[in-house]
Structure 1
Amino acid sequence: MTHATPGYVCSEDGTRADVRTAPWGCPVCAGPWDLDFTPDPAAPLDPSAGPNSLWRYGSVLPLPGAFSVSMAEGRTPLVPLAERIHAKLDFLMPTLSFKDRGAVMLAELARRLAPQRVVADSSGNAGTSVAAYCARAGLPCEVFVPEGVSEKKTEQMRAHGAAVRVIAGGREAAARAARTEADAPGVFYASHVFNPYFLHGTKTYVYEVWEELGGRLPEVLVLPVGNGTLLLGAALAVAELTRRGVRPPALIAVQSQAVAPLAEAFAAGAQEADPVPQLPTLAEGIAIPAPPRARQILAAVRASGGTFLTVPDTHLREAQRDLARRGFFVEPTAAACWAAVGPWSPTNPLRGRTAVLPLCGAGAKSGLAP
């Protein structure tokens, strides 16, 4: 570990901590960490000179020096989906979801810290990503999951060598169990929510869109939001590229109608989101009743001039089948953005603007929605 590795900072109270000795969350407010890191906008940014992975953006990533953990993640195709709408096929990542973007950063950080073991909590995709990248890095891994997670996803975690702990209760119960373990000495908490290095991995999604569009961004980025790790990573990249003179897009955030604390808070003009009941929905990957980074997500969408949309399960079913007929078999959660802006939308949220949306997870992970 070098002194150049950026440290943690709490956006709520300004508490700072060294990555090597920090607890998993802010010791004052127990909230998630941000990173004390802003890339120099004058520094060269030439991804074509880098490796064939997201490490090609190393000059804007917070892990200095040589990296060793990679499975050539990133560089996923950007393909036309409809008039003025492109889809980015992140379900073609090594573990079949966009979570690989953040997991590779956590695994590389953990490799440098050399913990005795790594723990994570997940409703599925993040756990499989962390398990795979820990396997790649040679790190022992445990993943805490709530009851009812797809057996295909837990099977994938075990195949990568992770110990899977099924916790009675919902998503938050699994997170509490993991955090309890994370308090033990020698444990690295590979949290896709609390550890900001994950967000600096997901921001490469937008850097790739910028590269694929020839140095520009679309007018709108449509993004699914549960814990908001892709949206907040996107917001980081947009801010960094804006400082380089790139025109910023509006962020349209999509939630399941059944579990939509952020959309409700946005509509009410609130800065924070109140918890909502954990109701069943096909979009299990974004069904987060109390997102820890709610304040940051709401602020990012408002600052961009964007909005929130919600989708019912009926539209998710239709969108998943429609995407399959177009050649893209994705899981229901990954169909949420198309469900929000596609033919089922009662309004016209894009209003003719150019847009990019992600197809985040492969249908092989969960099958076709009943």
Structure 2
Amino acid sequence: MTETILITGGAGFIGRHLAQALLHRGYRVRVLDSLIEQVHGAGAKPDQLPRDVEVIIGDVRDAKAVAMAVKGVDRVVHLAAEVGVGQSMYAVERYVSVNDCGTAVLFEALIAHPVKRVVVASSMSVYGEGFYRTADGDLVENAERRPRRADEPWDPVDTTGRALEPVPTPETKLPSLASVYALTKYMQERLTLTLAPAYGMEGVALRLWNVYGPGQALSNPYTGVLAIFAARIHNGQPPMIFEDGEQRRDFVHVEDVARAFVLALEHPAAAGRVYNVGSGADRSVREVARLLAEAMGRSDIAPEVSGRARAGDIRHCIADITRIERELGYRPQRDFSEGLAELAGWVAQQQAVDRVAEARRELEARGLVA
């Protein structure tokens, strides 16, 4: 019998790619999405979803809409969330309400209509700073950055003032929640892993790194960094980078992320587990901005490096994907340079309203950039 998968927030960037992947595997797909303007634009319709997807337009905090969405469903992927570290630091009620209260509403509906498995999208932001190694080779799991003076390095340092080297961060690292967004994502995964087994369901949490690819919301200044950079370059403006641009991240293609969700939905070993989802390679933000400009045919546009820090940001966090590779057979398949070329080709056909400067002014007005 064909199973039905519900994707909350399924009209968004990841949800659309996941819906396509699930349809290819023979599932029926239902989507619940509120189509918020910041992501989808004014009066948007989910016309980018595959035609065979059933769509319910509604807020994840609306108990009636959620009850309708979960009825007759076999498994759930919970993507519905407000996304953005910077914005979360002032739109506090909105982030906590959508991300955490929305998850609570979803589980109250699932208590009445249990499913086999719930997979929640968490975030690498729950780690705060990633793992580091000292110059002597010792691992540091609890690195923190103190308020920085102008003459001090950006990188965390050891007790003698030497810079720490970032190394891949495994799922065993204790959370260090540096932003409201990180707090809400951790709450989402804990609610899932606590409530699902209490009611005879299976819960899985995927901690996503920096997802990129065609279809991301180019006019949303709080979306993924590559989409933000692409919107600036597309409009002939330099990408704006906080700090010195040498902070390192893992960029993972949305198709690889969709495959990870399929594995998390299907694999028997995934039940009750938390997995990192990345590409396994790290790059500096400055390097990525340069490579994207080249891919878009605008190598003349150099990034604007501010030398200022944004509240809630961390310095380095690199994905250790050993667990998901070993237990679920996940393998990232998309080459980064090919993925950038694909993104550049897609962006060239789009219109993008550049709201990055506006978003930065919002942060500065609240004292969240220093």
Fold shared by both chains (TM-score > 0.5): no
Structure 1 or 2, whichever has the larger Rg, is: 2
* TM-score of the two chains, using structure 1 as the length reference: 0.31
* TM-score of the two chains, using structure 2 as the length reference: 0.31
More relative contact order in 1 or in 2 (CA 8 Å, sep 6+)? 2
